[in-house]
């Protein structure tokens, strides 16, 4: 089996949803919220998209740290992501709408691990952050920044057992993703026709010719770039803002 033939999709169950092909949802608790059935919450909306089914909506929402709940309407496929966790209807603003139901999600950070039963990496929840935030001033731990609603190690450092460090004695299977960043000119491998960032991270973990420690993904051009170089090892002129790529920083084990 070649590198590009590694299976990247896994049949998984999202807590009561039908089986769906996704590497995003993983084994996380996605649950209906009984108090919010036939109710549309009208505050804290992050985005609205049209999806094929509820499981795809859940999978997409679980990819973003800042999304705490989502709504889905079966008849239209409308998927609405919310940045606020929900407690009771009395504590939020909503309107009654038949068929629009609210669900919790598990956007607490994720890691890729090897699934021995299926022989390839899958996403599982992990904790590689230091609490929630609105801005970086909310992050009090040294060398952390606010990223997608969570305090994480800044891009110049790597998460290791509750600290932010430079240099890992060994790398683990978790990643911290920074949007709109590009490590310029340190490309060990360029792979085209990669459709998801999860697939790109799987390729990083599966790489055997070199130790992959950073991965860049551009969804618009379906390109995955793997590198053996850490972000903090590169001169500043080669660490760029980007409108195309997102940068994944591999955590220590």
Last residue of a domain, one of 104, 125, 156: 104
- Over its C-alpha atoms, the chain yields an Rg (Å, rounded) of 19
Question: What residues make up the domain containing 149?
Answer: 110-252
User: 185, 237 in Cβ contact below 8 A?
Assistant: no
- Is there a single domain that holds both residue 172 and residue 75? no
- Is there a single domain that holds both residue 190 and residue 246? yes
- Is there a single domain that holds both residue 63 and residue 78? yes
Provide the mean pLDDT of the chain: 76
What proportion of the chain, given as a percentage, has pLDDT over 90? 25
pLDDT for the residue numbered 3: 35
Please state the rounded mean pLDDT for residues 8-25: 32
- Is there a single domain that holds both residue 93 and residue 132? no
pTM across the whole model: 0.54
- Is there a single domain that holds both residue 97 and residue 25? yes
103 strand-pairing partners: 32, 70
- Is there a single domain that holds both residue 94 and residue 128? no
Q: Is the pLDDT of residue 34 over 90?
A: no
Confidence band (pLDDT; 50, 70, 90) for 103? confident
- Is there a single domain that holds both residue 140 and residue 91? no
- Is there a single domain that holds both residue 140 and residue 40? no
Tell me how crowded residue 234 is: count the other CB atoms within 10 A of its CB.
18
- Is there a single domain that holds both residue 245 and residue 126? yes
């Amino acid at each position: 089996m070649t590198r590009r033939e590694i299976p990247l999709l896994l049949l998984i169950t999202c807590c009561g949803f039908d089986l769906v092909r996704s590497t995003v949802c993983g084994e996380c608790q996605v649950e209906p919220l009984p108090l919010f059935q036939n109710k549309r919450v009208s505050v804290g909306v992050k985005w609205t998209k049209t999806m094929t089914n509820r499981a795809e909506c859940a999978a997409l929402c679980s990819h973003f740290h800042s999304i705490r709940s989502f709504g889905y309407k079966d008849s239209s496929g409308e998927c609405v992501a919310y940045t606020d966790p929900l407690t009771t209807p009395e504590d939020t603003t909503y309107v009654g709408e038949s068929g629009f139901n609210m669900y919790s999600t598990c956007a607490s950070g994720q890691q890729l691990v090897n699934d021995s039963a299926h022989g390839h990496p899958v996403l599982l929840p992990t904790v590689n952050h230091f609490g929630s935030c609105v801005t970086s001033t909310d992050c009090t731990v040294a060398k952390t920044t606010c990223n997608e609603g969570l305090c994480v190690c800044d891009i110049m450092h790597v998460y290791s057992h509750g600290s932010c460090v430079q240099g890992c004695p060994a790398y683990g299977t978790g990643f911290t993703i920074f949007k709109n960043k590009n490590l310029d000119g340190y490309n060990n491998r360029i792979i085209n026709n990669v459709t998801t960032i999860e697939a790109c991270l799987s390729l990083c973990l599966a790489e055997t010719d070199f130790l992959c420690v950073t991965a860049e993904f551009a969804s618009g051009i379906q390109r995955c770039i793997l590198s053996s170089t850490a972000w903090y090892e590169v001169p500043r002129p080669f660490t760029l803002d980007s409108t195309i790529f997102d940068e994944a920083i591999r955590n220590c084990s």
